[in-house]
Every structure is written in C-alpha cells, then in structure tokens.
Structure 1
C-alpha cells in the first residue's frame, strides 16, 4: 500500500510491502494532489526496467531510484547490504505498486 503523510505543510508517501516494510519513499511535495500524481507516476512507470537507476553508496550498500519518463526521481529505495536485496526490492515495487491502495495517515 501507499501511505500518504503530511509533514508540516508538505506531503510524502511510502510504498510498503505486505509485511509492512518500506520499499520506496517519495520526495516531499507541496500539495496532496502533487503527491497523488507522484503515486500515479510510480504505478505507471514501475513495470519498466529502464526506469530503475541502480546505485552503490560510498559505504558499499546498494539502493535504487525509480524515475519518470522525464528523468525525475519519483521514488527512492532503502539501503540494502547486498545487491540481491536491492534487486528483490525492485521486484517488490513491480509487484506491489500497480494495484496498491492509497492510505492517508496522520
């Protein structure tokens, strides 16, 4: 599910797997409507392997960004200790995002 939250006067969301683990986090948005557009963009782009940017941090951990068609980052993963974990995270986004419900939380 997508968990949509307000922080101060901005909005952001997390995509959570069925076990409650956060698999993707958004940037901050100035409005709820913009955050919802971000969710729709993730749902639209998550099935395309070309939209995933795989990265290795300076500490050797792995993470990825999901980008929209214009190259803007629309979601970022958590850090993974192994490349296989990162690849599993990408597969989880592909599996969970398209049909995920949006839940607004306080």
Structure 2
C-alpha cells in the first residue's frame, strides 16, 4: 500500500459505487494506492455514506452532537425537521415514546421502532 498523496476526487464515482457495493475503506485504499484514513476522510467530506444492509425502512441522515449529561448522553440533531421524521416518527413518538430502540454501530446511530 502506498503512502503517497493520491487525488481521490477523480475517483468519486468509483468510490461511491464501491461503497454502495459494500467495499471497505481498506479495499478501496488498496485499489487506489492510498490509505484507508484518506478514503474515510474523502467519503466524509463528500457525503458518501455506507448503508447498513440490516437496517430497514426509510433512512434520514443527520449530523449529531453527543453531550454528556447527568445520568447519560444527550444526542442533539436536526432530525426533527426532516421529512422522514415528520411522516414516520412524530405521531409514533407521541403515542409510544418508550417503544424506540437505539442501534449503535461503529459510525452510525439508528433509531428504530420496537417490533
């Protein structure tokens, strides 16, 4: 694996396709002769996100800020302004706020309705 600086912008379409196919940053880095951290940074800057194939339903991605509070962590986000939240979540949370599961992966936090 090379450590030289490789311009990734010309490869954006390939990177997007590879991510959609489930290829990891290590695999992409090897293909493009760069480092996995460069690939991850490029994906982040260009909003190229991995979709977790286990998750179902409509996805709405939002940046979040985690704040430590007494007894836990507060997740601050603008998700409440999204169309998915308006159509799928607002009424549900009013009726059943306890029926929500948080699924935490290495780089995502999913909110799911309990089954």
Q: Which has the larger radius of gyration?
A: 2
- Higher share of residues assigned helix: 2
Q: Which has the higher contact order (CA 8 A, sep 6+)?
A: 1
TM-score by length of 2: 0.26
